[in-house]
Amino acid sequence: MRRNILNYCREFVLALLITFLFNACGGGGSSSEQSGTGPAPTPESQAVTGYGQVEVTSSPYSFKVETTSSGSIELGLLAVNRLKNPSLNGGIVVSELLTGESFIISPDGTGYLSYSDHFDRNYRGRRQVVPPGEEWEDIRYLAGVESLPKILVDANVSGTDVLALNTKENAIGWSGTIVYTFNPGLPFKSFRFRSRNGKQKTTLSDTGAGIEVLGSVDGENWTRLWQSPGPGEGISLDIDLPGTLLGAEKLYIAFRSDEAILNDFVVSGEVDASKLSGITAIKDGINIFEYSDGADSSHQALIYWKGNNIVSSQSGTSAPAYPSDSPVVNDSDAELTILFPERTGITLLKSSEGGIARIGELFVNERRLLNSIPGESGNLFSLVLFREGEVGGVTDWEAYLSERSAISGYCENLQWPQRGGRQIYEIPLSEAVYKGASIQGGTVYLSFVMTDQGQKAEIILELRPADWTINGKSYKGLGWRLNLTGMRNAAYLKVREPVYTIYGNWTFQQTWGHWYEYQADLSSSYNIPEKWYFADAQPYYLSAGPSGAMLGFFDDILAAKVEISEDSGRHILDLEIP
């Protein structure tokens, strides 16, 4: 991912190259070469020995699992969007799952439920709507808009007087009562305010005048689970549900406060799933599973499994028809599909205006590397610009310093009091006019024109196959470069990349003073807050397992701010590049 900033004839030019690579090991590999053109591949099922997963996009939906012997497997279900009465082979697994909630059936008859909300202000690519200089976004009246914060999708917030998302960090501020409902339809054996692995907890950065956490089995009669002793900051809740609330098949959890800030809501629990043991029993050879759910369900789920006797899983998807000699561009009203002879393909989804909205899918061989979440409204690229204003000297230093000190982490986050009416605003590439594609050698060039307040920018998105050898291993993938000419008030570029995670894979990341290790179990989340990278400390993304390793990186030194979050089986990489 290279970026060069050059001045040609007083024009502002930005160039960027980001590369995603894949190295196949063991379970990887490519099928026989095919020539011709066709749609980008959609391999819905991927697996290696021990692990497997399939993405469900309709109901009913069939898939198969091949094994070497009979026995039992661990079987899990994750709601990409809210699910009602999800069933396998005719039997209801759970009554309901919230968006991002997961449920795992263990061979011993125990069911494991997990849910989290980190109050991502940019959840699924939404853009906050706030007046200039405001630190909080009022979200109480956002119902009905295209992209909602996660809390409005999952929780009952009708009892709140104030409900706002922070604009500088992921946090929710509120007064009143927020209620979450967990409805597995199976008896709870335990419930706690931390992840299943214990590494993540429910946290509050400010308890304000006081906060109560309540539990109920009917939504009317409440039991106090925890109460803050008074104002406090940086509190982690470590609450286990009392025995009086266990045994119920439905739980209500409420947060009640006059004024407080919640940073993370993380819960997990165990239920009696002994009646589902037949679902986890498999025979030697081919096992056919059929998924279905309610008519008012999203029909969008990840199903995953683990077992020593698993060989492979297949969904019957054929290999894509890659071209034999030069790239092919297939253009339709809804999407742009580009296939390369190097067995790499990418689908770019279009906006209603005809611009490029986001990545649909990116493949190397038949392996999915990037994949948008169904219904997401995020943009692959957005350009952040300054709007001019008149900035004078500070006339009241005492007031200015007081205002500055009230900004959390103003020095570390480079956030300062605003003066003079100057604004920072964002224009997504989806609003640019797509002018067409051209092919030169093995590289595809996509052309766009963006206008704003009398300024015009010409944008070229360059896509080409990449081939690297790293530590003796051969990696193949796709590199992209963005060239922008014009738009002198452009400040930096935002990039959003949804990485498709593989159940059981390990992800590693190093930041200033921190080392992160995470194995994708789809029942805990992988979140790294915004970090600045520069000089020799460069950002990268690495995910590796028996099926191979995937690597994303800039191919030259640059400054960038990177945030990583997890949503519905994807690691979302949000980058900001000056």
The count of other CB atoms within 10 Å of the CB of residue 36 is 11
pLDDT for position 256: 95
Report the pLDDT value the prediction gives residue 37, as an integer from 0 to 100: 37
Q: Are 47 and 312 in contact (CB under 8 A)?
A: yes
Phi, psi of 153, deg, nearest 5: -80, -35
Query: What distance lies between CA 552 and its chain's CA centroid?
Result: 16
Q: Where in the chain do CATH 2.60.120 domains reside?
A: 45-109+273-314, 129-268
**Rounded to whole angstroms, how far apart are CA atoms 475 and 449?**
34
CB atoms within 10 A of CB 35: 10
Q: How far apart are CA 10 and CA 331, in angstroms?
A: 35
State pLDDT tens for residues 4-19. 222 212 122 334 455 6
How wide is the angle at C-alpha 343 spanned by C-alphas 342 and 349, nearest 5°?
115
Q: Provide the greatest CA pair distance for the chain.
A: 80
Could you report the per-residue pLDDT of 27-75, keeping only the tens digit for each? 322 222 233 333 333 444 454 457 888 899 999 999 888 888 888 889 9
pLDDT at 521: 85
User: According to the model, what pLDDT value does residue 40 have?
Assistant: 39
pLDDT reported for residue 19: 66
Dihedral (C-alpha) 83, 85, 89, 93: value to the nearest 10 degrees?
Answer: 90
Class level of CATH domain 45-109+273-314: mainly beta
Domain 129-268, second-level architecture = Sandwich (2.60)
* pLDDT for 61: 94
Task: Give the torsion sign (CA, 423, 428, 429, 430).
Answer: negative
486 membership: H or E segment, kind and range = strand 473-486
Residues of the chain predicted below pLDDT 70 = 1-49, 132-133, 143-146, 311-319, 387-392, 407-422
pLDDT value of position 408: 58
pLDDT tens across 202-234, in order? 999 887 778 999 999 999 999 999 998 777 778
Cα distance between residue 343 and residue 28, in whole Å: 13
Query: CATH 2.70.98 spans which residues of the chain?
Result: 3-27+318-385+427-577
Please give the CATH topology (third level) of the domain spanning 3-27+318-385+427-577.
Answer: Beta-galactosidase; Chain A, domain 5 (2.70.98)
- Give the amino acid at 272: D
Residue 54 and residue 291: Cα distance in Å, rounded? 11
Q: Where are the alpha helices (DSSP H) in 432-481?
A: none
Instruction: Provide the pLDDT for residue 413.
Output: 54
